[in-house]
Structure 1
Amino acid sequence: MLENFKNLPYLRLVDKQKLTEASAIYFAVARDQVLYIGQAVNLRSRWLNHHRLPQLEAINRRCEIKLFWLNCLPIQLNELERLYIQYYCPTLNQSKVPQKKLLPSFQMLTLSLKKLNERVLVFGVCPDSERLPLKTIVIGYLANYTETRLATTLVRKSLQAVNRKPNSLFRWIEYDRLRNGARWLTRCNGIETRLIPWFEERIMHNPTMYRVMEEKRFGVWTSIPLNDYEAMRQDVKAMSFTERLELARNSEIGWQLFPLECGSQLKVVSGVELLCLTSEQLEVLLAKKPYIQEQHPGICAINEDPVPKLLF
């Protein structure tokens, strides 16, 4: 006659490291329901790296799982396991082990760019070369010199959040930490994306946009009533990025504060609309900043998505 599992010794799943090292038949039980039955020559070793452990740990977060065991000789394991499975008919013995699902790199790159899309400006794309072995997208994150540390910290937190996503091989690597900034890179389907600091233009955040809205709404007023100013601030906060961009483009001070952003075009990169320099803008910029060309040989403006979505 088979032994009732309730009469057997047990430990909680979280205490699995305390299990005996003897050979045994084991029972994973939650609320008196036998979920899984197996055998082990060394019970402790078996449960330190069990193929069902992630699945059972997920269940354990909702209801406590206990591990019961029946000591037996190794020669008895196969027969006793068969008999107990036949007797209790546990659910997990009749199901496949869930496979770990990897999130595609393309999906993770798209997620990254969505998090960054209001803080960055795409300079262009470089063909593979001796200096850059992979086709490389060059993206600058924006901040003027008074905001560099804050901007870098915000970007770092966004990328760290992406890196913490489970089940993905995709990673942003911080390959150069500067005094007030940093540089990151990642790779997706053989295409490299580099994120570099660009401290010569401010991002279109609230304080800078207040100045643009002031010009449009109040003109050259030297004094603005407090209530009117507060109403203006609330209107700016409620604006979408595209609305801010349109407002800046229709303002003289907007072109002074955000010359690159105002003159750039929205293009799709990895399925995300980002502001990208035009060919004319890039040509002028390279003439003023030749080091960009030296560091990114062959860089050219983006006309079509350099990381097109693959359908398969």
Structure 2
Amino acid sequence: MLQEFGTLPNLKLSERQRLPECSAIYFAIARDQVLYVGLATNLRSRWQNHHRLPQLEAVNKRCEVKLFWLGCAQNQLNDLERQYIEYYCPTLNQTKVPERQIVPSFQMLTLSLKKLNERVLGFGVCPASDKHLKTLILGYLADYREIRLATTTLRKTLQAITRKPNSLFRWTEVVRRRDGAHWWTRCNGIEIRLIPWFEERIMHNPSMYEVMAEKRFGAWTSIPMPEYEAMRQEVRAMSFTERLELARSSGIGQKLFPLECGAQFFTVSGVEILCLTDHQLQTLLSKHSHLQEQYPTVCAIDSDPVPMLGF
């Protein structure tokens, strides 16, 4: 039996993509302890998605894990693996593989909307057809001054959700331009599209200063610096709901934020978000022909378009 691994080729666990394509007995070792012994007819392929990888990665965070291998003929693999397991008694060879708890796509979509609901507006729903799934259209609001920042922030949020290892849910960026990006995903037989929309939004602080100034002083005029700073602090401390209520009660607020002020709250994937009314949607379609061409069957949201399946 092997007493010394120093003569065997090895790589760090993080470098496993560089493993050779050969048949071999492999050893996962940390701090001179053999954690796992296995066999592979193709070593590189075996470690692309190894069932013990999550456990070894957890160990690797505390101490470095290395993969050693001993090349051998395929007809020797089974006997050698059994002998080395009996000899070293590796810990992971004697334990069951933990079951992977998959988070349902519905929950991941709900998480997405919770993180985005202060920026996202429900535009409408396109019914299913022979060629397309039922499609939910969501718009993320950003004016031209902040579109790049808004897109970057949104991208980071969606990438963080997509990278969660215990979920099959994915946001895919299908269009990437300087004037905004487009994403799509699918959940419970529904396609969800996220598109940019250039509009002042309630969570944009400078715009809300004008609304607060109208409430406090009757107009956006020259304001003493101490009072202006106090007003800014008050606006920044306001929640989305408080800002919406203030904007709806203000003439300038309704002019600055026509979509949000006129929209209504509906539940989408279990999350309350603002959705365009039928009148708002029809007005929008009449002003923007490209929307009508792209989504000819779109209609306003009046109930949760993403079904929650019970098991």
Instruction: Report if TM-score (shorter chain) is over 0.5.
Output: yes
Deviation at 1:18, TM superposition (A): 7.6
For residues 126-185 of structure 1, give each alpha carbon's deviation from its aligned partner in whole angstroms, at most 9, with x where no partner exists. Answer: 11236x611111122222344444433433343333333335443333334455233332
Query: 2:106 touches 2:187 (CA, 8 Å); kept in 1?
Result: yes
Deviates more, 1:230-239 or 1:281-290: 281-290
How many residues were matched structurally?
307
Cα distance change of structure 1 residues 69 and 261 upon mapping to structure 2, 3 Å threshold: closer
Deviation at 1:248, TM superposition (A): 0.8
Aligned match of 1:62: 62
Q: Partner amino acid for 1:151? A: A
Cα distance change of structure 1 residues 199 and 308 upon mapping to structure 2, 3 Å threshold: same
Aligned match of 1:120: 120
Please list, as runs of the form range in 1=range in 2, the aligned pairs for 1:243-254 lying within 5 A after superposition: 243-254=242-253
Please list, as runs of the form range in 1=range in 2, the aligned pairs for 1:214-229 lying within 5 A after superposition: 214-220=213-219, 222-229=221-228
Gaps of 5+ in 1: none
For residues 239-271 of structure 1, give each alpha carbon's deviation from its aligned partner in whole angstroms, at most 9, with x where no partner exists. Answer: 111111111112111111111211111111112
Aligned match of 1:171: 170
Query: 1:245 touches 1:262 (CA, 8 Å); kept in 2?
Result: yes
Aligned match of 1:295: 294
Query: 2:22 touches 2:71 (CA, 8 Å); kept in 1?
Result: no
Deviation at 1:93, TM superposition (A): 1.1
Please list, as runs of the form range in 1=range in 2, the aligned pairs for 1:1-312 lying within 5 A after superposition: 3=1, 5-6=3-4, 9-10=7-8, 13-14=11-12, 27-39=27-39, 51-66=51-66, 78=78, 81-82=81-82, 84-98=84-98, 101-129=101-129, 133-177=132-176, 180-220=179-219, 222-312=221-311
Give, in whole Å, the separation in 2 of the partners of 1:41 and 1:298: 53
Deviates more, 1:115-124 or 1:91-100: 91-100
Q: Partner amino acid for 2:114? A: K
TM normalised by structure 1 equals 0.80
Give, in whole Å, the separation in 1 of the partners of 2:171 and 2:45: 35
Question: What is the percent sequence identity of the aligned residues?
Answer: 66
Query: 1:175 touches 1:184 (CA, 8 Å); kept in 2?
Result: yes
Cα distance change of structure 1 residues 136 and 73 upon mapping to structure 2, 3 Å threshold: closer
Gaps of 5+ in 2: none
Give, in whole Å, the separation in 2 of the partners of 1:260 and 1:20: 58
Deviation at 1:67, TM superposition (A): 5.3
TM normalised by structure 2 equals 0.80
Cα distance change of structure 1 residues 149 and 62 upon mapping to structure 2, 3 Å threshold: closer
